[in-house]
């Protein structure tokens, strides 16, 4: 597990983190270009139907279901930084190829599906290694929380500014340019990771030299997660939440285009402005966790996010762009509190040599819900209609609170607030 470490105060340690932070910030902006550019490329350039276009997230995230657990065991054996560099380079090649073939008019939907699937496999390796890498730079709990907050803050800014910049670029240069810029962002991320000098630490020699089979290691990771009184409720909550949130997110660009009749610039504004709640929440999350404790902060974030998502459905159905943005800001604030707090929880509660497997279980359960939600979204659009997607997603997200508020989380909620404040101050 993570504890205090004087190495956290070394200049080289902060240099390594700043390199990670800079590279990921640019890559996250590129990812937001993909959020708008990919479905519009499928519909406007390749000629896919809306029901086909929403299947692209299914192909991008299905690898988390197929390969997530074994990748976690592999990442615990591999150098995490090199794994991330290799995954970045694969995604750079894939999205650059998508952009070039689309510009030349050679892209067809089956080929696009295959390339997105390949990028999804690389994403599995990157994400599992990425969420296990920060404890190799920072081993002090307070540094970890601050580092996670900064990384989530960058993601929040990217989710706000990325779509706003992508909208005009798509309007002027067409969707392939947004995809190409995303490919370039992966190259920059690989460069910054390549010059980080952080070395693996805090793993006992016996853990390194005695290796059970891959299947045994997967079972060890699953057993740890399912037996943990706080990590398991958080993961179970996240799986249900992401399933129904995916219904909203995979359909929102097309909803804005076909139901609200917005232009690419307008779509970029709605998607970008909707993320404005994330940055403030990321900055406040360490203070909230220090004041209320982990469990209370998680519940505050989850409830706030669910309320915001419910209002997305209401204002979307009413055709109110202003209301849609306001509800999304509220949702973003809640998720911005929940995200870094839950990540810090599993980084501090998990032994370092198990962290890759625990993160792979998290990606398997939570990101694995994305392809299932994408398929369900496609069925809703095909048989019921695009306008129903926001209602199903908004109402369904409420269910995620049921698995969260139990076991260790519920036990903490029952602790009197004065005792909680005393324990937090002393700990």
- Using CA atoms, how far residue 410 sits from 78, 182, 192, 195, 299, in Å, is 37, 42, 41, 44, 10
DSSP type of residue 260? S
3 or 168, greater pLDDT: 168
| Mean pLDDT across the chain | 84
pLDDT given at position 255: 84
Fold for domain 11-196? Growth Hormone; Chain: A; (1.20.1250)
**145 Cβ contact partners less than 8 Å away, ≥ 6 residues apart:** 285, 286, 289, 340, 344
User: 108 versus 159: which is more confidently predicted?
Assistant: 108
Q: Where are the domains of the chain?
A: 11-196, 220-415
In CATH, what number does 220-415 get?
A: 1.20.1250.20
Looking at residue 96, its pLDDT comes to 96
pLDDT digits (tens, 9 = 90+) for 233-263: 999 999 999 999 999 888 887 888 888 888 8
**Fold identical between 11-196 and 220-415?**
yes
Crossing angle of helices 56-75 and 231-258, rounded to 10°: 150
Q: Which of 36-50, 170-184, 219-233, 258-272 has the lowest mean pLDDT?
A: 258-272
- The tens digit of pLDDT for each residue in 346-388 reads 888 888 788 888 888 888 898 888 888 888 988 888 888 888 8
Residue 69 CA to residue 75 CA, distance in Å, equals 10
Whole-model pTM above 0.85?
A: no
């Amino acid at each position: 597990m993570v504890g205090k470490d004087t190495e956290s105060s070394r200049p080289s340690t902060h240099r390594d983190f700043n390199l990670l932070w800079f590279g990921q910030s640019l890559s996250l902006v590129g990812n937001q270009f993909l959020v708008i550019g990919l479905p519009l490329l499928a519909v406007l350039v390749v000629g896919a139907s809306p029901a086909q276009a929403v299947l692209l997230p299914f192909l991008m995230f299905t690898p988390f279901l197929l390969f997530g657990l074994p990748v976690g065991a592999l990442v615990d054996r591999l150098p995490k930084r090199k794994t991330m560099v290799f995954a970045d380079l694969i995604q750079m090649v894939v999205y650059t190829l998508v952009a070039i073939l689309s510009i030349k008019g050679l892209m067809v939907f089956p080929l696009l599906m295959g390339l997105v699937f390949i990028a999804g496999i690389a994403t599995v390796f990157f994400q599992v290694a990425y969420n296990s890498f920060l404890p190799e730079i920072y081993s002090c709990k307070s540094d970890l929380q601050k580092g996670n907050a900064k990384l989530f803050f960058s993601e929040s800014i990217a989710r706000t500014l990325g779509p706003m910049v992508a909208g005009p670029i798509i309007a002027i240069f067409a969707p392939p340019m947004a995809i190409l810029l995303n490919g370039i962002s992966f190259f920059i991320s690989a460069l910054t990771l390549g010059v980080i000098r952080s070395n693996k630490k805090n793993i006992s020699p016996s853990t390194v030299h005695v290796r059970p089979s891959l299947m045994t290691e997967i079972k060890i990771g699953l057993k740890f997660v399912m037996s943990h009184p706080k990590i398991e409720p958080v993961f179970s909550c996240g799986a249900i939440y992401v399933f129904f949130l995916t219904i909203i997110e995979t359909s929102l660009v097309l909803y804005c285009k076909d139901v609200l009749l917005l232009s690419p610039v307008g779509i970029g504004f709605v998607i970008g402005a909707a993320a404005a709640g994330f940055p403030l929440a990321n900055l406040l999350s360490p203070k909230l966790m220090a004041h209320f404790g982990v469990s209370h902060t998680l519940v505050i974030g989850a409830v706030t996010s669910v309320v915001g998502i419910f209002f997305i459905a209401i204002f979307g159905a009413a055709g109110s762009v202003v209301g849609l943005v306001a509800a999304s800001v509220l949702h973003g604030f809640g998720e911005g509190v929940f995200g870094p707090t839950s990540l810090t929880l599993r980084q501090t509660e998990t032994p370092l040599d198990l962290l890759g497997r625990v993160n792979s279980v998290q990606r398997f359960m939570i990101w694995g819900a994305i392809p299932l939600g994408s398929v369900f979204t496609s069925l809703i659009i095909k048989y019921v209609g695009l306008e129903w997607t926001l209602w199903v997603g908004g109402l369904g997200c409420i269910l995620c609170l049921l698995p969260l508020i139990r076991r260790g989380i519920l036990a903490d909620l029952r602790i009197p607030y004065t005792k909680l404040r005393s324990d937090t101050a002393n700990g």
